[in-house]
Amino acid sequence: MRTMNRVHGRRALAVALAGVGVAASVGIPAAANATSGHEHTVSREVPGPGPSADPGFPTFVHMPADQAAHPNATQEWWYTVGHIRAGGHKYGYEVQLTRRGTTQISITDEESGAYTSEQKAFKPDQFSTSASELDVRMPNASLSGPLDAMHLQAELPEGKGTLDLKLKAVGPTLYNNGTGLFPFLDDTSYYYSLPDLQTTGTLTLDGATKHVTGTSWLDRQWGNWNWDTLHKWTWMAVRLDNGQVLNLWDLFDDKGEKHWATVLSPDGTHRVVPVNPLAPQATHFETSPTTGQRYAGKWTVTIPALNTQLVVRARPVLQEIQADQPFTPGINEADSAVRGAYQGRPVTGEAYVEQFGVWK
């Protein structure tokens, strides 16, 4: 068991805000809000940072210790998405494991548009998590191992096959909000991402086993927030071909709308910036024949502080997982492509876009 101290709830929020205030003179970012027009930059650079490197500024999460489970948190997940290739064929995948014993697994064929997904829930005696190391084991999926050799296994929905992947974290960790702690649903959330996981392994699909390579993204989030305050959100994990990585939110709760992004550069620099609301520019809506939910398939992401505009397109639009609470009746987890301009220069990229709630 780890002995690291943790602060929770409103005390955590107070500590986070106090820390930002004290550290403002050395460039630690404050949370972006919908009315601010300025970015906050962590300006200290760390040569060749890896995922366990000291980022050079205070954070509320610690690598690699926080890969393990946090028994005092009421909510926690290990969320992995990726883009993999077998020869010239491209796939997207999602494997989410929660400490409450649920899994969400999906596979998208980017060439044909074929998609399948499934959520399952297990009893406490059917799964295990470790509070000392990364080791999460469900009957249909598992994630374990050190940062440079994580092992992800999953059974694909409807008996279609299996994923067996090695994930190697390279480059810096993305500390969401620049500190790894931010206000979230009437409380706080610890949150970091490993956005550059070199991925190798096998995909067995419809009886055929293929060697795959690609890049994956691991999100780690835990805390004691209140789901009852959530109205809807759109979330994006964006990786651009110029090396920039964006973790982006447009979230509605009882207190209103918040829309911002944490931007990570290859040298470890973090920027926390406001993002224009996504809904006014969202198009290409389609209706799920299963749940009746409507989901957008195209978004224009505008970040004035970075002179950046990106067009994000789901491929296909409907990549819905029929889910239980808090995401009932469904949540869209869309493998997506990106094209646009970052700081005025052309870029392309890949993304996953998560949509929950009624957007149109």
Alpha helices, DSSP H only, in the chain? 9-23
What is the model's pTM?
Answer: 0.88
CA distance 60 to 58: 7
Q: Give the domain ranges of the chain.
A: 9-356
Q: For the chain, percent helix, then strand, then coil, each to nearest 5?
A: 10, 50, 40
Q: What pLDDT does residue 39 have?
A: 55
- pLDDT reported for residue 31: 39
What pLDDT score does 338 carry?
98
Mean pLDDT score across all residues of the chain: 88
- The 10s digit of each residue's pLDDT in 39-58 is 554 444 444 578 998 888 99
- The pLDDT score that the predictor gives to residue 266 is 96
For the cut 60, the answer to whether the pLDDT of residue 11 exceeds it is no
Pick the CATH number of 9-356 from 3.30.1490.190, 1.10.760.10, 3.30.420.40, 2.40.370.10: 2.40.370.10
- Greater confidence (144 vs 14) lies with 144
Distance CA 151, CA 136 (A): 10
pLDDT digits over 150-171, tens only? 999 999 999 999 999 999 999 9
Residue 325 has pLDDT above 80, yes or no: no
Q: What is residue 283's DSSP assignment? A: B
Q: Mean of the pLDDT values across residues 200-211?
A: 96
The pLDDT value given to residue 181: 97
